[in-house]
Every structure is written in C-alpha cells, then in structure tokens.
Amino acid sequence: MTAIVTDRREKIRRYIEETGLPFDVLIDERRDVIRAYGVWHRIGIDAWNKARPAAFLIDPDGSIRKSWIGDWQWQFPSGDEILEAFAAPKQA
C-alpha cells in the first residue's frame, strides 16, 4: 500500500515519525499524480488545491481494479469495502 499526499514534505515527515505509518507515502507537492488520476480538487468548500479523498486498488499489471472517489474530504471507503474488493475475482 502507498499513500499519495499533497502536503509539504516536512509536515508529512513529522506525521510519519509520530504515527509510524506501516506503508510508503509519496509526496506529490506539484500535484502531478493526483491530476493524472483525475482527483485534483482546485477549489471547494472544504479544500483547495488538494486531492479529493480517493482510494485505488491497482493490480500488478497496472490496471485499476476498483476506485473510490469522495466528494468531501471526510469520505473514504471503509476497510471492509477495500478488503472485499481485494478478495473479489478480477473482472475481465
């Protein structure tokens, strides 16, 4: 698992040290990755110049098996939803 964040490097480094995150974090300060995935959120009520909350299940061949994209910064898929998608057979 890898998280992609748009916050400043120093802020994220401190957060990782404090929480001991068990996965990698990609820092996307220029917003290149979030734009490529179509989740860049220029201006909104709850955020600006950030990514919409999103999760992508990407297969080893690089194809996106499942995606979740929220409208608000607090909308994320549940852990159960992600595990169900991971366990489901890949659709052709």
| pLDDT of amino acid 92 | 62
Any domain includes 58: yes
Domain that holds residue 10: 2-87
Alpha helices in 1-92 (DSSP H): 9-19, 32-36, 79-87
Any domain includes 37: yes
Number of structural domains found in the chain: 1
CATH number for 59: 3.40.30.10
Strands 40-43 and 24-27, how do they pair? Answer: unpaired
Any domain includes 30: yes
In tens digits, the chain (92 residues) has pLDDT values of 778 888 788 888 888 888 887 778 888 888 898 889 888 877 666 556 677 778 888 888 888 888 888 877 778 788 788 888 888 877 76
Any domain includes 70: yes
Any domain includes 14: yes
Token pair for 73: 């910064």
Kindly state the greatest CA–CA separation across the chain. 42
| pLDDT of amino acid 57 | 83
Q: In whole angstroms, how far apart are CA 32 and each of 25, 27, 65? A: 15, 10, 21
